[in-house]
Structure 1
Amino acid sequence: MAWLLVVMVLPYLGALAYLLLGQTSVGRKRVARLKSEFSGLPRPEDADGWAAPENAPDLHPEFAPLFRVGQSISGYPAVGGNTARLMENSDAAIDEMVAAIDGARDHVHLLFYIWLDDHNGQKVAEALMRASGRGVACRAMVDDLGSRALLKSGLWRRMGAAGVRTRSALRVGNPLLRIFNGRIDLRNHRKIVVIDNAVTFCGSQNCADPAFLPKARYGPWVDAVMRFTGPVVRENQHLFASDWMSNGGDDISVLLTAPLPPAQAGFAAQVVGTGPTFRTLAMPEMFTSLIFAARRSVFITTPYYVPTPALQQALCACPARGVDTRIILPARNDDFAVGATSRSYYESLLEAGVKIYEFQHGLLHTKSLTMDGQITLIGSANMDRRSFDLNYENNILLQDADTTTAMRARQEEYLAQSRLVPFEEVQAWGPGRRLWNNALAIVGPIL
């Protein structure tokens, strides 16, 4: 419907835009290669040590179906024996990554959607070059469009000259030719760091300063990252390997057959990878399942809210069954169209009893969901159509009271820097503002 509207209003320009952006396809050859690499790799659960008693996932009966949903999406099972630590802030997350790289003995794998040649970006690059200099196999991959400035920089060339193996994901090439072999804007939005098959980082943060200079007027960008150990690391390694090898990198499948580190006590967790070559609408299905499963509380932070009808209905249904339902969005969005589209859903959410807050001190970029004091979902996926339909994303779903308490405390910190949006305020919006928000919501799926 959105495309019909665009073509009717702008016949020639709209038709050209549809040719460029109208089909959710990365190209037949890419699809075949991506699917082949993902399915052909050794499975994490086949590694020696996976069946250790400590790795058996001790899932609460209420939550076990949620992990089955996750497994149905990307095939990774829930596994026990994991630990996690929430990084204090964005700079601390980079410092932890640099420290882990400096301690690496065998390999370092990094994948970022955006990697900037700024202070934090250079710190990570320098750590990679140091590691490569002492014989550690370092592999760095960035999205071809999201990190286009880095790919043209001297820093990227210096990394390659220092022995760091570099790749770009989903190369655009000639944009005019690309339209005949898949969309330009289907991107790899993942953020994955894996070190020595023992440590992984997962969260919303790109490899950049919080000031995020390309869009500094919206800053600081506020992110959350967790550092994980345990068998879930091997699932993130598998996801990285599938991206690396399908984008022309060397064969690293042998790392997936290495024995797991000694088992330890810990919680159940699972990697949930999504993208155009996975099941359609997989990520909103994950979000919707979590929200419908909530019995006491559900707390969401996301920078972009352009939901599917099912996701919107799931959130609206929560307060009716007594669930404390809260969502924090940025007060100033770096994408004006998405910001207006998000506000077009405010009235029905507030009418249902959902508490909406707008973050006042920068752009809240954290993508997190906590539920009933036990479940946390953290990663790269936003609650918008681009994330649902067009981007490759990675998240980790976990069941643990302590880790969820830590994530909930961080969400409460965001809450203290946010303003509650009153229902009366939204009801008082004038016809011009409503028309603007709703018009953008109509074409929201293609923005």
Structure 2
Amino acid sequence: MLLPIAIGVYILIALILVVSLLLNGVRPSKTLAWLLAIFTIPVGGVLLYLLFGRNRRKSKMFSLKNSVTHLKDIPYVHCEPPLSNNKRKITHLIHKTVNCPVTCDNELSLLQDGKITFESIFDALESAQEHIHLQYYIYEDGLLAEKLLDIFQRKIAENVTIRLLYDGIGSYSLSKKYLKKLKAIGVETAQFLPFRFGRFLTALNYRNHRKIIVVDNKVGFTGGINISDKYLKGDPSLGKWHDTHLKIEGEAVDYLNRIFITDWYLASGIHVDMNPFKIARPTTSQVSLQIVPSGPDDDFDVMEQVYFSIINSAEKYLYIVNPYIIPNHAILQGLMTAALSGVDVRLLMSATTDIKLVDWCVRAYYESYLKAGIKVYLFSDGFLHSKVMLCDDEIASIGTANLDNRSLQQNYEAQAFVYDTVLCQHMKREFLEDCAKSELLNDYFKYSQRPWLNKLIEGFAKLLSPLL
């Protein structure tokens, strides 16, 4: 008696999901794949769809963000960055999709690796007079966390307001003992989509991958570096972690702060008034940049659109540093088309990643790259975690977003797109120096002769690429 009822309930749920897919599906191939999974994998197909398949842009699951966003109704800044015509449209695309205009009064410092980055961060935190906002995907116990705790205690004694937002999955190992210490000294904390059974299906697959620090709305930091001692001590299996971070002083810091405050409300339900925050404008430098936030509840695939537009705009060169390049069809075709059109396209990746399945999936695309003439460099002196894109000495992208489905469609990310020839040329020199120390793959025929077992594993991993 119970079995027929269970089967009937399952069929009813499956039919409801089918209707949802037909109404809210985006790509026919993806919709068809989920339909097959629902009807060919008993129970598991439904669970997989609930975890990974729902279209957040249609359903607006995270409606809190839409009700209190601090990025609405911002006028387009009057300045024009020094870009060629085919790249100026990118700035308009960003403003149209996420309401973040070009900011022109900025001073930037490029920070490489953990030691230099954290020295700069600590100096900025020590100078705080009004507030410190921190937002991290990974915040782990250790020497860095204890150093921050010590700084927080001193600054709170000076009446500085400190807010810390951490991701519920990325910072899952952060101890209750440490959190109690933060609370005891007066640090306000919030957890983004905590790992709880009741919210398991709605929260697990959608993470806040941003790394943001804002001090007094004058100094801001963003990039790939998390709060983890592996940036100082290295990793037992991968060696030293290499990463790129950006220190920003000036107008653009206000937009990092707006992103933080919006996410803070989404996580805590507490509204922070933007009015008291002053916008600082340095006079020593005038670098143009745009801050680009993206997330699963945006109206458009913002990060994918911007990356695709930059790739499509490349005329001379396109250099990418990223450990997780698992391109969707549009990004892959863009990269291959650029290379076949005569653009110097180079991808710099780690020889191995921190997740073996991801490593195989990344490798599954090498053959396509080489066939199109894209040069692939494998960096073996530690783990390269930077998320950088350089194009034609005009655009430098530095931030948190990888070139995979998770970053482009599922995670909350933050990326700085800098329009400055001097910075681009400096980063290009560093890129080429790293390439010189890496293994070059450019022989398509030789690579295509790799063992069939490798191809089989890569093919299996590639099937899971939409989930990685």
* SS of corresponding position for 2:94: helix
Amino acid at match of 1:398: V
Q: What is the Cα deviation at residue 5 of structure 1?
A: 6.7
CA distance in 1, matches of 2:275, 2:183: 22
Tell me whether 1:18 sits opposite 2:18 in the alignment: no
Match of 2:391 in 1: 371
Match of 2:22 in 1: none
Match of 1:322 in 2: 342
Match of 2:86 in 1: 62
Amino acid at match of 1:432: L
Moved more, 406-415 or 221-230: 406-415
Match of 1:284 in 2: 304
- What does the per-residue CA deviation read over 1:247-280, in whole Å, with 9 as the maximum and x for residues that have no partner? 2264322347635446664121000110101134
- In our comparison, the structure showing a higher alpha carbon Rg is 2
Match of 1:437 in 2: 458
Matched-pair contact (CA < 8 Å) for 1:42–1:256: no
Moved more, 385-394 or 254-263: 254-263
* SS of corresponding position for 1:218: coil
CA-based RMSD of the aligned residues comes to 2.6
| Larger RCO (CA under 8 A, 6+ residues apart) | 1
Task: Find 1:409's aligned residue among 405, 429, 450.
Answer: 429
Moved more, 107-116 or 120-129: 120-129
Q: What is the Cα deviation at residue 183 of structure 1?
A: 3.7
Give the direction of change, closer, same or farther, for the CA distance of 1:247–1:32 in structure 2 (3 Å limit): same
CA distance in 2, matches of 1:10, 1:362: 41
Give the direction of change, closer, same or farther, for the CA distance of 1:44–1:100 in structure 2 (3 Å limit): farther
Task: Find 1:343's aligned residue among 353, 356, 363.
Answer: 363
Give the direction of change, closer, same or farther, for the CA distance of 1:69–1:44 in structure 2 (3 Å limit): closer
Amino acid at match of 2:138: I
Matched-pair contact (CA < 8 Å) for 2:106–2:282: no
Match of 2:127 in 1: 103
* SS of corresponding position for 2:268: coil
Amino acid at match of 2:51: L
Give the direction of change, closer, same or farther, for the CA distance of 1:249–1:64 in structure 2 (3 Å limit): same
| Long gaps (5+) in structure 1 | none
Match of 1:38 in 2: 69
Give the direction of change, closer, same or farther, for the CA distance of 1:352–1:112 in structure 2 (3 Å limit): same
Amino acid at match of 1:34: K
- What does the per-residue CA deviation read over 1:278-310, in whole Å, with 9 as the maximum and x for residues that have no partner? 134321211111011111111001111111111
CA distance in 2, matches of 1:340, 1:3: 23
TM-score scaled to structure 2, two decimals?
Answer: 0.86
CA distance in 2, matches of 1:9, 1:435: 23
Match of 1:74 in 2: 98
Q: When the two structures are aligned, how many residues end up with a matched partner?
A: 436
| Long gaps (5+) in structure 2 | 1-29
CA distance in 2, matches of 1:258, 1:432: 59
Give the direction of change, closer, same or farther, for the CA distance of 1:9–1:42 in structure 2 (3 Å limit): closer
Q: What is the Cα deviation at residue 4 of structure 1?
A: 5.9
* SS of corresponding position for 2:346: strand
CA distance in 1, matches of 2:156, 2:391: 41
CA distance in 2, matches of 1:371, 1:256: 38
Tell me whether 1:195 sits opposite 2:215 in the alignment: yes
Matched-pair contact (CA < 8 Å) for 2:97–2:300: no
Tell me whether 1:126 sits opposite 2:150 in the alignment: yes
Task: Find 1:157's aligned residue among 170, 180, 186.
Answer: 180
CA distance in 2, matches of 1:6, 1:138: 46
TM-score scaled to structure 1, two decimals?
Answer: 0.90
Amino acid at match of 1:439: F
- What does the per-residue CA deviation read over 1:178-207, in whole Å, with 9 as the maximum and x for residues that have no partner? 256x24121000001111111111111111
Amino acid at match of 2:178: L
Matched-pair contact (CA < 8 Å) for 1:223–1:364: yes
Matched-pair contact (CA < 8 Å) for 1:21–1:183: no
